Structure 1
Amino acid sequence: MELAVTVHHARLGPRQFTVIRPRRPLTRAVLIDRDRHLDVLLDQNAARCVGGLWELAASSPRSLVHLPLRGNATPPLDPTEDAPRQLDLVLLHHSLQFAPSRWKEMRARLGAGRPRTVTVPATGRPVGSVIGVDERHYRENRDLIDEQVHAETLFLTGSAKVFRETSGRFFDIALHGFAHVRAHPRNPHYCTEFHSTEGVLGNAREIHVQYCEQWRS
């Protein structure tokens, strides 16, 4: 699939960093901090785009992939009564060694960026573990996603392998969520999860990803 992005550059001290953002706003996607876990709610187009950006994070270890999501309207089915704590999302390779505590400073230095079109796999990898479950739980396993939150932004840091392996979960939502809602209007819930027990998450909370067709304007 072709993915329309903008590429930005910002310097912090002696280092210059590259930040990649989706060119079109993901208006039907939200990331909500539920304290004990994280919720990602999105529609079909947003799920496909997030899957592509997840793949881009796997193939661009020298870049930060930034998804501006804060302030988006939430779906009417969202159970939160009060205004939820929404976060932006940044995906980055652990070898980049970027300090999330400096994100606010760097974000302020990003300009308009230059448009670019990149090609990423259209369907992602198979849903489920490509790496064996036993292998994932070895102490030496470094193909894990870790989490930090700074400046209203969730940072997910991992290896190319773990981003590539888990991108298919979003493509699954894009491919099957719409059909499920049409076939089961009384039970429209279609989701996938990043579980703490499956050996994908390191120092990170569980992530619940749900397809939502109806959105507030």
Structure 2
Amino acid sequence: MRLPIRVHRARSGPEEIRVIRPASPPTRTVLVDHDRHLHVYLDQAGARLLGGLWLLAARSARSLIHLPLRGGPRPAAHGEPGRRLDLVLLHHSRQFRPSRWRRVRAKLDTGLPQTASLPEAARLGEVAVDHAARHHRENRDRFRQRIHAETLFLIGSAPVFRETAGRFLDVAEHGPRHASTHPGRPGLRTAFHSTDGTLADGREIHVEYCAEWEPSGSTG
């Protein structure tokens, strides 16, 4: 998998902060705060992109992976979408404080284009997942959540990013067919549940494929 990206930098005192964004942000992907849970609505391209960014986060311990999502259209079947958020994927070893994000975001340069080479989707089946270990108290391979400056920070380790990337790639592969064979029903879904050992804190994250979207500019 080859993923076009832009690599941005910002100075914060003596420190240079590296931020990676997709070269072309998704046009039909939104992250919505529904109070009791967080919900990602996306199409096939958005699901494929998020899977790629998850894999990129697994190997980019010194970078912030930023996905601007607040400006896109809304899925046609879901009415008022609630509060929209951007997304940052962050390796826990980076120890970046989300409270700094607003200032860093404002200082980012225009970025340089690059292409990231990532594992093919078929190889993700080779990733060994110890499901029992996820529930051990000392397990550090779980996501932590913070919200700051209209942005959800999903903070985790390389293993948890790598092991869960396939959830998005499965939606990308099977979502369109599910929509065509189940018209009028909710789209194919996956989730990060409070009981599956992937979340250390925060709310569940639901991910749903959506085939129909409002015209661009119809953000409610």
Shorter-chain TM-score: what band? Answer: over 0.9
Residue 218 (structure 2) aligns with: none
Q: Distance in 2 between the 1:111 and 1:78 partners?
A: 36
Residue 30 (structure 1) aligns with: 30
| Structure 2 contact 98–146 (Cα < 8 Å) conserved | yes
Residue 47 (structure 1) aligns with: 47
Residue 176 (structure 1) aligns with: 174
Residue 104 (structure 1) aligns with: 102
Runs of at least 4 residues of structure 1 off by over 6 A?
A: none
| Structure 1 contact 90–155 (Cα < 8 Å) conserved | yes
Q: What are the within-5 Å matches in structure 2 for residues 109-188 of structure 1?
A: 109-123=107-121, 125-126=124-125, 130-188=128-186
| Structure 1 contact 173–190 (Cα < 8 Å) conserved | yes
Residue 86 (structure 1) aligns with: 84
| Structure 1 contact 125–166 (Cα < 8 Å) conserved | no
Query: For 1:168-188, what per-residue CA distance to the aligned partner results, in whole angstroms no more than 9, with x for missing partners?
Result: 000000000001111221434
Ranges in structure 2 where 5+ consecutive residues have no aligned partner: 216-220
Q: Distance in 2 between the 1:189 and 1:49 partners?
A: 18
What is the RMSD of the two structures over their aligned residues, measured on CA atoms? 1.6
Deviation at 1:204, TM superposition (A): 2.2
% identical equivalent positions: 55
Aligned pair count reads: 214
| Structure 1 contact 126–165 (Cα < 8 Å) conserved | no
3-state SS, counterpart of residue 19 of structure 2:
strand
Amino acid at match of 1:125: L
3-state SS, counterpart of residue 73 of structure 2:
coil
State TM-score, norm by structure 1.
0.94
